[in-house]
Structure formats: structure tokens, C-alpha cells
Amino acid sequence: MKILMTGFEPFGGETMNPAYEALKLLPENIAGAKIIRLQVPTAFSRCAPAVEEALLACRPDAVICVGQAGGRTCVTVERVAINLADAGLPDNLGAQPVDEPIRADGPAAYFSTLPVRAIVKNIREHGIPCQLSCSAGTYVCNCLMYELLHRSALFYPHIRAGFLHVPFAQEQAVDKPGGTPSASLATIARALELAAEAVVKAPRDDLQEKKGLIC
């Protein structure tokens, strides 16, 4: 089994992105699955093509995209991506869409095809806080999640795909206002490892699919 795990470039004035920094700490093999890492441009127009290129080159069984959600207190597993691009700040190529559909002909949303509950359960059982989330925002993270699920729905139905958000790393929070939550890169990396492990171990025909709901 192969799992493609992606993390974004730093954005919004940060000098690091905890998503990709944590991925660098992961072992090359998790629960028997080969882990392939990819850094993705933080740009609406470039993120999905970069991931699709890796899909074609690596032919993974699952894709776990990871992004920074500054202000959240723990790792969160996204349930759903929506067809909306609305950027509070320009992306790394200067694009700043306002209330635009990601795909004019696409559905309003896609649910994650990762075993989101099993991921949350596995991370929590190892003592690390983790929550389900119903919003990946409307910035590049949501855009990548939507595009990935759109393409996998149409062309790669056998690939399980989804998105996790991680808090600021401690190094980023040091100079931010008191009260800004963060986590150590060691903790974030461990949570991502446990997420990959849950994906390896979760049977494909799990509860959600039986119910006709992909979440």
C-alpha cells in the first residue's frame, strides 16, 4: 500500500508551514504502507495540478493532504470540502478570489473519503487531542481538498482522499499574542503518523459507505 501525504509551502508571512515540517519527521513506512511526501504550492491555481501529477507518478492508494489552521488547538480531520474560494489574504502567487466557485460545473461539496472517525479515534487513543471539523475554510486548503475529491470522484474512485488541519507549531506561536494555541512538531508528526496508520487499518467497506454517506 502507498499513501501520498502532502503539506503546503509557508504562506501569509510565516517562515515555516507546520504541515510540511511535520511530514518531514515521518518514517518512510507506516504500518506496512510506503509514505510518499510532497510539498505543494500554496496557490489556488497550482495546488491541485501538483497533487495530480504526483497521483499519476506514484499511483497511491490514499492521499492525505495536510494544512495549517492557525488558531485551532489540535489536529482536526476535515469532513467536507465546499465549492467556494474566498481568500482573506493573497495566495503565494498573489491570487485572492472572492466568493468564486472552485469549479463552475462542480457540486456544492464533497465529503472526505478517508475513514475520518477511525483517524480521530486512533490519534485520541494515543493521548493526542483530535477533533472532527466541518469546515476546511475557503482558502487554498479547502480548494485542494475539493479539487482532489472532485478528481478522485471522477477518475480515481479507488483512491481514498481527504484533508487534515494542524495547529501552529510552537516556534510560530512564540511571537504571537499570548493565548495563541500551538503544538510541538513532534506531536503533530505523531498525529499524522497515527492518521496514516488508521487509513491503513480501516477496511474500505466501512460503516459510512454502507449508509450511503461518504464521510
Q: Which residues are part of the catalytic machinery?
A: 78, 141, 165
99 binds its own copies (CB under 8 A): yes
Strands 2-8 and 33-40: parallel
Q: Are 88 and 102 in contact (CB under 8 A)?
A: no
What are the residues whose beta carbons fall under 8 Å from the beta carbon of 203, sequence distance 6 or more? none
Kindly list the distances between the CA atom of residue 78 and the CA atoms of 14, 58, 163, in Å, as whole numbers in the listed order: 23, 24, 6
24 binds its own copies (CB under 8 A): no
Residue 2 beta carbon to its own copies: minimum distance, rounded to whole angstroms: 27
Question: Identity (one letter) of the amino acid at 134?
Answer: C
Which of the stretches 35-43, 56-64, 125-133, 196-204 binds its own copies when contact is defined by CB under 8 A?
125-133
Kindly list the distances between the CA atom of residue 125 and the CA atoms of 113, 121, 194, 198, 208, in Å, as whole numbers in the listed order: 22, 6, 10, 11, 21
Residue 5 beta carbon to its own copies: minimum distance, rounded to whole angstroms: 21
Which of the stretches 18-26, 29-37, 94-102, 158-166 binds its own copies when contact is defined by CB under 8 A?
94-102
Sole binder of its own copies in the list 138, 148, 160, 198 (CB under 8 A): 138
Q: Are 48 and 106 in contact (CB under 8 A)?
A: no
d(CA 55, CA 159): 10
How many of the chain's residues bind its own copies (CB under 8 A)? Answer: 49
208 binds its own copies (CB under 8 A): yes
User: In terms of C-beta density within 10 A (0-12 exposed, 13-18 middle, 19 or more buried), how is residue 37 classed?
Assistant: middle
Which residue is it, cell 485520541?
Answer: 124
Which of the stretches 22-30, 38-46, 57-65, 126-134 binds its own copies when contact is defined by CB under 8 A?
126-134
Residue 184 gets which letter from DSSP?
-
Secondary structure of residue 131 in the 3-state scheme: strand
Sole binder of its own copies in the list 187, 189, 196, 198 (CB under 8 A): 187
Residue 203 beta carbon to its own copies: minimum distance, rounded to whole angstroms: 16
Tell me the longest C-alpha to C-alpha distance in the chain.
48
Sole binder of its own copies in the list 13, 27, 157, 179 (CB under 8 A): 179
Which of the stretches 57-65, 72-80, 154-162, 194-202 binds its own copies when contact is defined by CB under 8 A?
72-80
Q: In the complex, which residues of this chain contact its own copies (CB under 8 A)? A: 73-74, 79-80, 82-84, 99-101, 104, 107-111, 117, 124, 127-131, 133-135, 137-138, 170-171, 173-176, 178-184, 186-187, 207-208, 211-213, 215
